[in-house]
A and B are shown apart, each in its own frame.
Chain A
Amino acid sequence: MSQLFGIGDIVRVIDAHPPGHRRTPYYCRGKIGKIERVCGEHRNPEELAYGFDGKPLRRLYRVRFNQSDIWGHYDGPSEDTIDVDIYEHWLRSAE
Chain B
Amino acid sequence: MMNETEKHEHDHGHSHGDLDADAHALEHIHDHDRQFQPDLEDTPPTRYELMVYAIRELLIEKGHVTQEEITKARNTLESWQPSRGAEIVARAWTDPDFKTRLLADGNEAMADFGVDAGGAKLTVLENTDEVQNVVVCTLCSCYPRAVLGLPPDWYRSKAYRARVVVEPRKVLKEFGTDIPDEVTVRVHDSLADLRYLVIPKRPAGTEDWTQEQLAAIVTRDSMVGVTNPKAL
Contacts and interface: CB of A to CB of B under 8 A. Distances in A.
Interface string B135-156: 0001100000000000000000
A56 interface: no
Interface in A48-95: 60, 62, 67, 70-71, 74-77, 79-87
Instruction: Say which size band chain A's interface belongs to.
Output: 20 to 34
Nearest to A76: B169
Interface stretch (A2-10, A11-19, A38-46): A38-46
A89 B37 CA distance: 57
A83 B187 contact: yes
Given A25-B139, A76-B169, A87 B192 contact: yes
Contact of A84 (B121, B184, B189): B189
B170 to A, nearest CB: 7
Nearest to B192: A85
Interface in B161-202: 165-170, 181, 184-194
B193 A80 contact: no
Contact of B192 (A42, A70, A71, A74): A42
Contact of A71 (B166, B170, B194): B166
Interface in A15-37: 23-25, 27
A23 B137 CA distance: 10
A84 B138 CA distance: 10
Given A76-B185, A77-B184, A79-B184, A84 B191 contact: yes
Contact of B194 (A27, A77, A85): A85
5 contacts: A24-B191, A80-B187, A81-B184, A83-B187, A86-B191
Interface of B: 121, 138-139, 165-170, 181, 184-194
